[in-house]
Amino acid sequence: MLILLRVILYSTALLILLMALCITLSTNNESTDLPKWQLTNDDIQRAKNILHANQQSPEQIIILKLTERDINIASSYLLNLYTATQSQVKLNTDYLFFQLRFALPNHYFSRYIDVQFQLHAPRDQAPEIKNLKIGKITISDLYAGLLIEKAIQHTQLNQYLSLFSENLKEIHIGSDQLQIKYQLSTQVSAKIQSLLIPNIDEVALNQYQETLNKALLKHDAGWRLSLSSILQPLFQLALQRSTAANAIEENRLVIFIANRYVNNYSGSGIKNKKSKAIPYYAATLYKRNDMAQHFMWSATLSASGSSHLAYSVGIEKELGDAKGGSGFSFIDLAADRAGVIFGEYATASPEQALKIQQKMAHISNYQAFMPDIRDLPENLSIQAFEAQYQSIDSPQFQNVINDINQRISSAQIYQ
C-alpha cells in the first residue's frame, strides 16, 4: 500500500514537473520582432474585400490573387476579430511561413505563446503543415497538421475555416503571389458572412431603437446633443432587460445602437408615428462631435472583441493625418482609447456588465465616462510630432499615453 502511494505521488509530481516544463518552453514574455500591423481604413476595407469576396457573387467561382501584404492584412484583421494577436506571413515558392504570437490572459504573468509553421501546398497535392514550433518545442511533421487542426477546433475561427476549406477548389503558392480558387453556395456564403459580423437580436434591437427615438424626440434642438443623453436611456433599458446570463450581449446592443446613430451609419435613419424622419443631431463630448464619433466607433470595435485592432487603427489614422491632413491629435487618440476601455469594461464579465449598467443608468453628464482631454496636443504635423515625440515607441509618447490612461481610469464609472 505504501509503495502504491509513493508511485502515485511520484507520478503526480512528475506530471506537474512536465507540465511546468512545457509551459516554460512553449511560452515567454520577451519582446518580439513581429510587426504590429497598424491597419489603415483602406487596409481594413481591403481585408473585408478579401474575406467577403464572394458576397456580391455567390455560386460563382472566385479567384483571389493575393500579395504578401494582402495576406498579412487579411490574416491580421481576421485574427484580431477574435483575440489580440501579432502575426506575420511570408510567401515562398510552394509554401507560406507563418509566425504568430498569442497573448495569454493576465493571470499567466503577461506571457505569450509563439507559434511558427510552414503551410506547404505543391500543385496537385493536399496542403500540409511542416516545421511546427510552439515556443522552443519542435513538433514532428507527423503530428503537426493534426495538432494545428485540433487547436483550431477549440477557437471561434473553426467554423469559418472549416466552411472555407470544404469549398476550396485550388490553391497555388508562388514566391510573390498566393492564388486561391473557390466556390461557395449561397447558403454557405451566408453562414460565412454571419461569422464575420456580430449576432443581433432583432426584437431587442427594435426596443433599443425605440428608446433612442424617444430620447431624441425630447431633445431641445437649440442645444447640443450630449452623448450621455443617448447612452443613459439605452443603459436604463439594458438594466431592465438584463440578468447575469445576458448582460454582456445587452451592453453590446446598446453600444451598437449608439454608434450607429452617432456615426450616422446606414440604418440609423428613424421615423416617428407620423412617418417623418427625426432630425439628426450630432452627438458631442465637450462640444465636439468628432470626439463622440471616435469614442463610439472604438467602443463598438472593442465590445466585439477587437480592442487591439481599434487602438491600432486609431494610431494609424493619427499618423496619416500628421503626414497630410488635420494633424496628429492626442485628443482624438484619447477619445479612441476611452472608447476602447469603455467597450472592454462593458463586456468583460457579467458582473462588470451589470455594474456599468447601474452606473450609466444614473449618470448626470458625460464626464462620468469621458474625462476632460481638451488640453492635450493636437494639429501636429509629422515634423512637429517627430521633433517632440520621435515615434510612437518613444518614452515621450508613452508618457502622454500613460497620462491619458490615468485620466480615463479616474472617471466615475470605473470607481
- The 10s digit of each residue's pLDDT in 281-300 is 999 999 999 999 999 988 98
pLDDT at site 378: 87
Q: Output the pLDDT for position 15.
A: 43
- pLDDT value of residue 241: 85
223, burial (CB in 10 Å: exposed 0-12, middle 13-18, buried 19+): exposed
Work out the number of other CB atoms within 10 angstroms of the CB of residue 166: 10
β-bridge mates for residue 172, sequence order: 179
First to last CA, the chain: 56
User: Of how many residues is the chain composed?
Assistant: 415
The set of residues, in sequence order, having a beta carbon less than 8 Å from that of 79 and lying 6+ positions away, is 85, 87, 100, 157
Cell 472593442 belongs to residue: 302
Alpha-carbon gap, residue 258 to 40, rounded angstroms: 23
DSSP string computed for 109-144: TT-EEEEEEEEE--TTS--EEEEEEETTEEEPHHHH
Q: Which three cell numbers stand for residue 408?
A: 480615463
Amino acid at 128: E
DSSP characters for 230-286? HHHHHHHHHHHH--TTTHHHHHHHHHHHHHHHHTT-TT---B-TTSPBPPP--EEBT
* DSSP 8-state secondary structure symbol assigned to residue 196: T
What φ, ψ does residue 381 adopt, rounded to 5°? -70, 165
pLDDT in the model for residue 307: 73
Q: What is the pTM of this model?
A: 0.57
| DSSP assignment letter at 154 | T
Contact by Cβ (8 Å): 167, 183 = yes
Q: Alpha-carbon dihedral of residues 392, 307, 286, 315, nearest 10 degrees?
A: 20
Tens-level pLDDT at each residue, the chain (415 residues)? 444 444 444 444 444 444 444 545 555 666 666 666 556 656 666 776 777 666 656 677 888 888 888 888 877 766 765 556 778 888 888 888 888 887 665 444 446 778 888 888 777 777 788 888 887 888 888 877 787 777 777 665 666 667 667 777 788 888 888 888 877 777 666 666 555 544 556 778 888 888 999 899 889 888 999 999 999 999 999 988 888 888 898 999 999 999 989 988 655 554 444 435 677 899 999 999 999 999 998 898 888 777 777 777 778 778 887 887 778 889 989 999 999 999 999 999 999 999 999 999 999 899 999 999 999 988 888 888 888 888 888 899 899 999 999 999 999 999 8
Angle between helix 307-324 and helix 382-389 axes, rounded to 10 deg: 120
- Identify which of 327, 345, 338, 321 has the alpha carbon closest to the alpha carbon of residue 401: 338
Distance, in Å, from the CA atom of 164 to the CA atom of 150, rounded to the nearest integer, reads 17
